[in-house]
Amino acid sequence: MIDTHCHLDIEDYENLEEIINNMDGHMIVSGVDRKSNEHVVKLCEKYEKIYGMIGFHPEFANQFTEEEKQLLESQLNHKKIVAVGEIGLDYHYGKEDMDVQKRVFIEQILLAQKYNKPVVIHSRDAIADTYDILEKYHIEKIPSVMHCYSSSAEMAEKFLKLNMKFGIGGVVTFKNSEKLKEVVRKMPLESLLLETDSPYLTPEPFRGTKNEPANVKYVAEKIAELKQITVEEVKKQTTENACKLFHIPIM
C-alpha cells in the first residue's frame, strides 16, 4: 500500500522513526510551507520508502514571495519530489485573503505544469472556485488529485471529467460521512487513492488518537466494504493508481 498523503512533522511526532517503521509500505509526505517543504526533502533523502510533495497550503499563501517561489522551483528538481502540494483554497475561516489564495494557487499550478509534476489539491469550503480555476488552467494536462475529497458525488463527476483522482482517507470510516461513502461507491476504483492525512483524521476504530500512515489499511478495508470487493483488490489497484500518477517505480 501507499499512503499518498501524510504529514510527518517533528513537532507532531516525538517517535517519528517508530511511526515511519510502523508503515509496511511507501509514503508520500506533504509540505505546506517553507519549513515543512525542507523537512520533506530531508525525509526523502533519509528513507527509501518516503517520497515527497512540496508547496504552499492556502493557510500560508501570504508567505509565497518571489524568493519562496524560486526556492520551490529548485526543490522540484529533486528526484524524489513527485508532486506539487498541498495547494489550493480554504475559505473555512473567512474569505478575507481569497484573492491572495487564488493567485498563489494559480502560480503553483503553472509551476507544476512547467515541471510536469502532478498537483495535489486542498479545497475547504471553496469547491466552486477550486473547480473554476482547475478548469480554466486546464488541469487535465497533468495528473492531479483532490486531496481529502469532501464534496458531493455530483461535483466528483465534474472533477472526474478533468481526469482527476480522489484521495480517500479516514473520514470514509466515520458514521456521519455518507456523502463521501456515496462518492466511493460511484467513482471507479481506478480513480481512487489511499491517504491518511496523518496526524489528522484518524480512522475508526481509533478516532480521537493521533493518526499515522500505517492506519491506511483501515481506509482500504472500508473502501472494499463499500464497493463490495476484496481488500486485496483495493490495495492492488490503488497502488497501481499511485505509482502511475506519481511516477513511483515500486511496481
pLDDT < 70 stretches in the chain: 251
Grid cell, residue 59, equals 493557510
Spatial CA neighbour of 28 closest among 163, 216, 171: 216
Distance of CA 104 to the CA centre of its chain: 18
pLDDT tens-digit profile of 96-146? 899 999 999 999 999 999 999 999 999 999 999 999 999 999 999 999 999
Domain boundaries, the chain: 2-246
pLDDT of residue 235: 98
pLDDT of residue 94: 83
pLDDT of residue 95: 87
pTM of the model: 0.96
pLDDT of residue 250: 76
Instruction: Provide DSSP, 126-174.
Output: -HHHHHHHHHHTTGGGS-EEETT--S-HHHHHHHHHTTEEEEE-GGGGS
Tell how strand 164-168 and strand 144-146 pair up: parallel
Third-level CATH fold of 2-246: TIM Barrel (3.20.20)
pLDDT of residue 251: 60
Residue with cell 497501481: 240
